Homo-oligomer: A and B are copies of this chain.
């Protein structure tokens, strides 16, 4: 199955007093990766918002396996699935350079247009190569 990935790096302010990345910040990494994936397919998130198309997160499950620390580099990888109006983003974070799996998440989103979940034609088209 085809995947998309970007390299990122922990910023020190993302760590808390334990010296490790705070659990909430991985959701920020996940989101940044989804938006990069969209951009790589020609869809800019801000354009969606400007057009009142609101992709929203419905469910998230995250397994924290190993902590990232200040300045760690990591790979944020994403695969896609779809079921009706729901998109599923399977998101893994691997520490570099040893490729240790740190966090694994599943993010379920729907697209809200005029206040209700709607077919995401724009996504279906842009992301089609990731569903093959």
Contact = CB atoms under 8 A, between A and B. Distances in A.
Interface of A: 11-13, 15-20, 22-25, 27-28, 31-32, 35, 39, 44-46, 49, 54, 56-64, 67, 69-71
Identical copies of this chain, number: 4
Contact of A60 (B39, B57, B62): B62
Contact of A61 (B39, B61, B71): B61
26 contacts: A11-B35, A12-B16, A12-B17, A12-B35, A12-B46, A13-B32, A17-B17, A18-B54, A22-B28, A22-B31, A23-B31, A24-B24, A24-B25, A24-B31, A35-B71, A39-B71, A44-B70, A45-B70, A45-B71, A57-B64, A58-B64, A59-B62, A59-B64, A60-B61, A61-B61, A61-B62
